[in-house]
Amino acid sequence: MYHSKITGLGYYVPDHVVTNDDLSKIIDTNDEWIQERTGIQERRHIIPGQDTTTSMGVKAATIAIERSGVAKEDIDFVVFATLSPDYYFPGPGVLVQRDLGLRTVGALDVRNQCSGFVYALSVADQYIKTGMYKNVLVIGSEVQSTGLDMTTRGRGVSVIFGDGAGAAVLSREEDVTKGILSTHLHSEGLHAEELIVKAPGMGGRWVTDILEDKNPDDESYFPYMNGQFVFKHAVVRFAEVINEGLEANNLKVDDIDMLIPHQANLRISQFIQKKFGLKDEQVHNNVMKFGNTTAASIPIALTEAWEQGKIKSGDTVVLAAFGSGFTWASAIIKW
Our finding on whether 159 is near ligand COA (CB under 6 A) is yes
Say if CB 37 and CB 291 are below 8 A apart. Answer: no
Say if CB 179 and CB 171 are below 8 A apart. Answer: no
What minimum distance in Å lies between the beta carbon of 37 and ligand COA? 4
Residues 263, 265, 267, 273, Cα dihedral to 10°: -10
Range 106-145, binding ligand COA (CB under 6 A)? 114
What minimum distance in Å lies between the beta carbon of 114 and ligand COA? 4
Which of 323, 327, 329, 334 lies at the binding interface for ligand COA (CB under 6 A)?
Answer: 323
Which of 150, 191, 227, 240 lies at the binding interface for ligand COA (CB under 6 A)?
Answer: 227
**What's the per-residue H, E or C state across 166-215?**
EEEEEEEECCCCCEEEEEEEEECHHHHHHEECCCCCCCCCCHHHHHHHCC
Alpha-carbon distance of 236 to 327, in angstroms, equals 12
- Binding-site string for ligand COA from residue 289 to residue 308, where x marks contact by CB under 6 A and - marks none: ---x----------------
What minimum distance in Å lies between the beta carbon of 134 and ligand COA? 33
Range 260-289, binding ligand COA (CB under 6 A)? 264-265, 268
Residue 90, H or E segment:
none
The residue annotated as part of the active site, out of 3, 20, 114, 184, is 114
- 292 in active site: yes
- 262 in active site: yes
Range 182-221, binding ligand COA (CB under 6 A)? none
- 286 in active site: no
Our finding on whether 37 is near ligand COA (CB under 6 A) is yes
User: Residues with Cβ < 8 Å from 250, sequence gap 6 or more?
Assistant: none
The residue range among 5-13, 33-41, 78-86, 311-319 that interacts with ligand COA, by the rule CB under 6 A, is 33-41
Q: How far is CA 65 from CA 11, 36, 46, 89, 167, in A?
A: 11, 38, 23, 26, 9
Strand order in the sheet with 327-334: 179-187, 327-334, 316-323, 258-261
Instruction: Give the other-Cβ count within 10 Å of 293's Cβ.
Output: 33
- Binding-site string for ligand COA from residue 44 to residue 83, where x marks contact by CB under 6 A and - marks none: ----------------------------------------
What minimum distance in Å lies between the beta carbon of 286 and ligand COA? 15
Say if CB 145 and CB 161 are below 8 A apart. Answer: yes
Interaction site with ligand COA (CB under 6 A):
29, 33-34, 37-38, 114, 155-156, 159, 225, 227-228, 230-231, 234, 264-265, 268, 292, 322-323
